[in-house]
Structure 1
Amino acid sequence: MTGTLPVASPPAEMMIFQLPTGTYLTRAAFAVTGGAFADQRSFASTAILVQHPKGDLLIDAGFGAGADAHIESLPSYRRSPHDRAETASAQLDAVGYDRQRLLGVLLTHSHWDHVSGLDSLDVPIWMTAEERRYAADSTSDSVFDSVSRNHEIREFTIDGPAYLGFPRSLDIHGDGSVVVVSAAGHTTGSIIVFIALPDGRRYAFIGDLTWQLDGITGRLEKPLLMRKLADSDTKQVRRDMERIIALQDRLQVVPAHDARGYVGIPLLVTSPVGSR
Structure 2
Amino acid sequence: MKRILLLLLIVLLIGLGALAVSFMPAKLAVDSLPKVLVPSANPPAEMRLYAIEAGKMLSQAGFAYRGGNIAEPRVFGMGGILIKHPQGTLLFDTGFGKDVDAHFKTIPALMQATSKYEKEPTVAVQLHAAGIEPSTFKAVILTHSHWDHVSGLADLPGVPVWVNDQEMSFIKYGDDATALIRSFGKLNYRVYNFPSGPYLGFKKSYDVFDDGSVVLVPASGHTPGSIIAFITVPGGKRYALIGDLVWQNEGVEIPAEKPWISRKLVDWDESRTRDLIVQMHQLKAAMPDLVIVPAHDRRVWDTLPKLGS
Report the TM-score, using the length of structure 2 for normalisation: 0.83
Aligned to 2:71: 38
- CA gap of 1:10–1:103, structure 2 versus 1, over 3 A, is same
Provide, for residues 140-192 of structure 1, a one-character-per-residue CA deviation record: whole Å limited to 9, x for no partner: 23111123x24210000123211111111000011000000011000000000
Q: Structure 1: which 5+ runs fail to align?
A: 271-276
Number of equivalenced pairs: 269
Match of 2:45 among 12, 24, 39: 12
Q: Residue 225 of structure 2: SS of its match in structure 1? A: coil
Name the residue aligned to 1:254: 293
Question: Residues 117, 100 of structure 1: CA spacing in aligned structure 2 closer, same or farther, 3 A cutoff?
Answer: closer
Q: Which amino acid aligns with 1:225?
A: I
The within-5 A match list for 1:151-166 is 151-166=187-202
Question: Equivalent of 1:48, from 64, 70, 81?
Answer: 81
1:87-106 to structure 2, matched below 5 A, reads: 87-106=122-141
Describe the superposition over 1:31-61 as per-residue Cα deviations: whole angstroms up to 9, x where unpaired. 1101222112110102010000000100001
Partner residue of 2:21? none
- The TM-score, its normalising length taken from structure 1, stands at 0.93
Aligned-residue CA RMSD in angstroms? Answer: 1.5
Q: Is the 8 A contact 1:166 1:243 kept in 2?
A: no
Gaps of 5+ in 2: 1-33
* Residue of structure 2 in register with 1:273 after alignment: none
Question: What residue in structure 2 maps to residue 274 of structure 1?
Answer: none
Contact 2:36/2:200 (CA < 8 Å) preserved in 1?
Answer: no
Alignment partner of 1:91: what SS? helix
Q: Which sits farther off after the overlay, 12-21 or 227-236?
A: 227-236
Distance 1:162 1:51 in 2: 25
Sequence identity of aligned pairs in percent? Answer: 41
Matches within 5 A, 1:1-276: 3-79=36-112, 80-122=115-157, 123-141=159-177, 142-147=179-184, 149-248=185-284, 249-269=288-308
TM-superposed deviation, 1:3 = 4.4
Q: Secondary structure at the match of 1:77?
A: helix
Q: Which amino acid aligns with 1:152?
A: N
Q: Counting helix residues as a fraction of each chain, which structure ranks higher?
A: 2
Deviates more, 1:166-175 or 1:254-263: 254-263
Contact 1:205 1:255 in 2 (8 A): yes
Deviation per CA, 1:74-128: give whole Å up to 9, x if none: 2312323101111111101001113343112100000000000001012011001
Q: Distance in 1 between matches of 2:264 and 2:291?
A: 28
